[in-house]
Structure 1
């Protein structure tokens, strides 16, 4: 029975160049035996198994390492869902099945599966919750899609059933008249400058058009933006172009969130440079730089995003793969008129979504110095256009989730939007609401992935809140409860044990050495997104205010049983985001000493108190942050962007005490109004700079003119707080000479003397000004 079911599914898949799914539901051991039966029946050329078990005679992967399948395909992929069903792994497995191939799912009995808890559920049970608090809504929804979608065969293998199992559905589409899609043999377009081999390696007309567009990268000053759903061959096209450009002698710099994301680019580039004979003349280096050298002297080399954005070695061409997965700040580094650049981005996929890229970055790219050309790839490479398994995976994992259309949201009034909870039961029952809310999160955050869908529906520490206008979700926040941990757990955390799902308490306890920090209860904003049609109109700030009002306590009160002591957030710090969170009432307590490998940003943690206990937590950590930065800015934070430093300090609620001696005031006043030198009292200058940046001289929030302009604030950070050499500070900030930079620093301290100067300091100033 299993053999016949598998053969029928495989036969139809091959006839239509589509994929099929065979779900073997029931006892695990019987499922594994049935999977072997199915594999032997279809005799695939290649098979991979993703399971927590070992000892299969096929290629093996663990569920948490299913990304190893990326860039490779198989005729059959078996996903064992019994001990650890990871939604991300399902997405990777679907993507690894070739047209004409089978995805075999080994699952518990479908009716029982939503009630089964496994090792993935353990990861959702963050303290103080247990695995019994985790629900099975994601699996309930998933089972419904398995039973409803075409192309999915189901066999029940319950213990005690018939020998071969019971067929619940055969999954056949029964469209016998469907013909296999034919593809036009690719050829080089007229007047093509890339070698004919680059075009002959293309598999679709879309790929051919993309490679032709990449020809524009040969001279500097051009940009190509390639957008596609997953499996359309954009990375292959980029790799063929990279190989062709390197063969012409160009230095091609490739970056992506990780090298595995760019592996296809390098495979195709090497193939073209070697003339189809890998290992002949092209040379792939074994070191971490991941480099292919062409006989012409050109090369294709990989660097991580933060490093690549600095354009080391002055490349001729840059190719950014999975661009949607990188922050806009890094992408801006590639907008340089001295080179040409390609941005390749996935529109819908489990590794990132292109909507944020399109919304946030496209305008800046078009306003820049590069001539921009757009290419869209729609035709799948490995399977037919109407493959039912692609549609099933998109729905089951919400890969194609989208926010409400712009026309339905544009013009929504802030005051008329309704604040409401998005309960997981309601989201499970209302597919449109779930799609809009999750679609907003996907659009705003490239890290939103299928695992997050399971967390949203099942994790006991997570909840969602939204603003809804005319029935449409215009802003949404995903929230995580943290803290409230018992003394024993706090002790273990303080002594180095990691406690899942408690990011802010963990940092404050283990890194900043506050054993009591995990006792207050917090609510962290994991994700927040506002529909781009109403962005910058206050919806995000209002949503945060509503959340704090719902979960917090009135001033002078303790949080109630369901409330929290503080709300918090952790994110990659940029000046814009620091400003947003500060204006929303959040205050800085930490700035990480290391950069995120992908974003290149330092992470900020900010709190907003919601009870007396939260206020106490904020007060002591804000003061500690202030004191750390006074010394750390010339050490661990010496290279942090000065605008990020200024933004983080501006959001620190702990004023800097000013207690300068008369000798120190003489040095400060002398450097500001007379012939004195900064070097005579650097500590005094540092205290005044800290006080000024914390108290907020530079944004004029109160409607008054700022004390310092942007360049003067950067001068205080770079020279006084970070201790950079005069020469480098002058060059970076555009002063004509180091002498001019020194004079500018003295000028910048004049209003600081006016603000903080004692009677003695003002008398000293009078000696030089007569005022």
Structure 2
């Protein structure tokens, strides 16, 4: 322990951090980690996962507590699951001289360990049993390859501590409070942008001092009599900025900021990538904003901020400024922990640029091929990141471990040009399908059948099998060549050798994407009633029928969707853009009375959703008389709730009922007047 303490002091001296893996039984690893942490003495430790009874710990699912914080030590108990997002976020919060203690089973046994985190990648918990983790195979291999990683096996003595350089790392703040030339340049740019009322975006990876610079800028601006506000996804994420500002800097949450609209000359936004893009754009319209954002995926939204928000900001304010920092402020440039975490989680995965011309080769790529070819894995994961602006480190684990996923790739000159990530869904047991339809069960996954059944009012949806295209992406260098359509066409032709009913997709419905999917033979079967907080778009679900049964059923589903959409366009979807409406291809409305009757019955006696069923319920009460009479007040309440655009909370207020829950229960009771007894079938 004397040697350990001396070595820790030397780490702080040269500004580096290290990873120590404690590989053995959980009891042994917890006990040894406790001794090592306690020996450090300052108590500034974050413990994620199970710990000894007397020690404070945090579940991995609550890893957001690490954002915006600094810790001298991190204990990550992987026996509680290796949650990639939690590991990346927490490791990024460890300060210079810090240690990450990773507790895990013996490395050779770890990939076969029943990791609790695997439950997140399957529909039912029992499906996680027996999965041999490709993600952990790769993870343990990278740990063994890194000479800077300390490995302590239970059956072995404590590892020899490597010699450290004697170079002193001692960041000294200048008179402005900056630690290096990049910070000085960024602060000057921020102050200049504020004076000119010009938006600015400050980007960097973790540990570069973005939050501190916001605080320093706020102090200078407040001293010059600017009205300055600070917002962030959480108060904890704003803690560093507040700590660096001696002036009266007020923090206000983003939703409160939108609701209250307080006056301000400058709005500082920390961890902007973790705030939905539509909310950021609304703030940018109301205030002169200085945005600070992490670029690589600890929070999982950095690339989305780059791909989605920044082009939208350009359309709004073409002359906004951007400044980037890559010099670490919280640890030395020689620190080996950050590049290790980047490798383990593929945080900087970058697709290779393919040639614009040449023959395309399309084929499936399996997990073993990804495991055997790290370069291919990095290229493909980087390509998939481009397809979705909220990619997180957990998506890498899903790609390598989720049992129902498959990957189809288009290559040109051996370089990935395009890819489609698919997942199997549906074909659920009848009892489970009925429970989903009635609102009694909501298992993980199975997006298409669950949403079509519960939200779309298609009772038989869970019986059918689906291949859902989770992501489809073409490298930007090769777009507008029809490659995405060729990829879908290959999937449609290949489907003759596959056993499923529908090829499907769910996506944020821009007019361009509506055209893309419909031009490739997909038909719309559902539109989300609300706007997605991250994309600012309504979600659309589209299907292409493969089997004869699917070909027979799809027009019926599309007809019902058209009938429902006609209703919702007079209410909840009245604000759909005209251009969006023109691009959507619909079949004539064709609702079935028997389907409406089933929806009304199971809404009345079970837990179906009022807003999703509103169209069917309105048709039902118009076509049917109650078996037991309703009073005039009851009739008025029922018609008020089923009017296009009715908002249950507002109807409750008008009717003098306690709230939304109470008024929906009243609606169920009133609809029971139309039936004799509930059916168990």
Shorter-chain TM band: 0.7 to 0.9
Q: Give the 3 Å change call, closer, same or farther, for CA 529–327 of structure 1 in structure 2.
A: farther
State yes or no: 1:232 paired with 2:232: no
Which residue of structure 1 aligns with residue 139 of structure 2? 142
State yes or no: 1:166 paired with 2:157: yes
Cα distance in 1 for partners of 2:211, 2:554 equals: 47
Q: Deviations over 1:366-409 (max 9, x none)?
A: 566542332111111211122111011000010111111x3xx2
Q: Deviations over 1:250-280 (max 9, x none)?
A: 5556666xx23x74446524752x44xxxxx
Which residue of structure 2 aligns with residue 440 of structure 1? 383
**Which moves more between the two structures, 26-35 or 346-355?**
346-355
Displacement after TM superposition at 1:524 (Å): 1.1
Matching residue within 467, 477, 482 for 2:410? 467
TM-score for the superposition, normalised by structure 2: 0.79
2:171/2:329 contact within 8 Å kept: no
Displacement after TM superposition at 1:357 (Å): 4.6
Cα distance in 2 for partners of 1:621, 1:253 equals: 50
Which residue of structure 1 aligns with residue 514 of structure 2? 578
Cα distance in 1 for partners of 2:510, 2:269 equals: 21
TM-score for the superposition, normalised by structure 1: 0.71
1:221/1:371 contact within 8 Å kept: no
Gaps of 5+ in 1: 188-198, 276-281, 283-291, 294-299, 554-559, 658-720, 724-771
Which residue of structure 2 aligns with residue 33 of structure 1? 31
Gaps of 5+ in 2: 591-643, 647-681
State yes or no: 1:91 paired with 2:88: yes
State yes or no: 1:655 paired with 2:652: no
Matching residue within 366, 377, 381 for 2:325? 377
Which residue of structure 1 aligns with residue 174 of structure 2? 186
Matching residue within 536, 539, 545 for 1:603? 539
Which residue of structure 1 aligns with residue 20 of structure 2? 22
Matching residue within 353, 357, 362 for 1:412? 357
Matching residue within 203, 208, 212 for 2:188? 212
How many residue pairs get matched?
A: 593
Which residue of structure 1 aligns with residue 253 of structure 2? 302
Which residue of structure 2 aligns with residue 732 of structure 1? none
Cα distance in 2 for partners of 1:34, 1:179 equals: 30
Q: Determine helix, strand or coil for the equivalent of 2:369.
A: helix
State yes or no: 1:449 paired with 2:397: no
Q: Give the 3 Å change call, closer, same or farther, for CA 170–541 of structure 1 in structure 2.
A: farther
Q: Give the 3 Å change call, closer, same or farther, for CA 364–77 of structure 1 in structure 2.
A: closer
Report the RMSD for the aligned CA atoms in angstroms: 3.1
Q: Give the 3 Å change call, closer, same or farther, for CA 369–122 of structure 1 in structure 2.
A: closer
Cα distance in 2 for partners of 1:342, 1:376 equals: 13
State yes or no: 1:513 paired with 2:511: no
Q: Deviations over 1:717-759 (max 9, x none)?
A: xxxx999xxxxxxxxxxxxxxxxxxxxxxxxxxxxxxxxxxxx
Q: Give the 3 Å change call, closer, same or farther, for CA 92–335 of structure 1 in structure 2.
A: closer
1:99/1:382 contact within 8 Å kept: yes
Which residue of structure 2 aligns with residue 533 of structure 1? 477
State yes or no: 1:268 paired with 2:241: yes
Q: Give the 3 Å change call, closer, same or farther, for CA 368–82 of structure 1 in structure 2.
A: closer
Q: Determine helix, strand or coil for the equivalent of 2:34.
A: helix
Cα distance in 2 for partners of 1:584, 1:129 equals: 37
Matching residue within 278, 289, 299 for 1:341? 289
Displacement after TM superposition at 1:314 (Å): 7.4
Displacement after TM superposition at 1:482 (Å): 0.4
Displacement after TM superposition at 1:412 (Å): 3.2
Larger Rg: 1
1:156/1:166 contact within 8 Å kept: yes
Q: Determine helix, strand or coil for the equivalent of 1:61.
A: coil
Which residue of structure 1 aligns with residue 367 of structure 2? 424
Which residue of structure 1 aligns with residue 492 of structure 2? 548
2:13/2:170 contact within 8 Å kept: no
Displacement after TM superposition at 1:614 (Å): 2.6
Cα distance in 1 for partners of 2:318, 2:239 equals: 25
Displacement after TM superposition at 1:4 (Å): 6.1
Displacement after TM superposition at 1:444 (Å): 3.5
2:529/2:573 contact within 8 Å kept: yes
Q: Determine helix, strand or coil for the equivalent of 2:540.
A: strand
Q: Give the 3 Å change call, closer, same or farther, for CA 360–242 of structure 1 in structure 2.
A: same
Which residue of structure 1 aligns with residue 420 of structure 2? 477
Which residue of structure 2 aligns with residue 769 of structure 1? none
2:68/2:239 contact within 8 Å kept: no
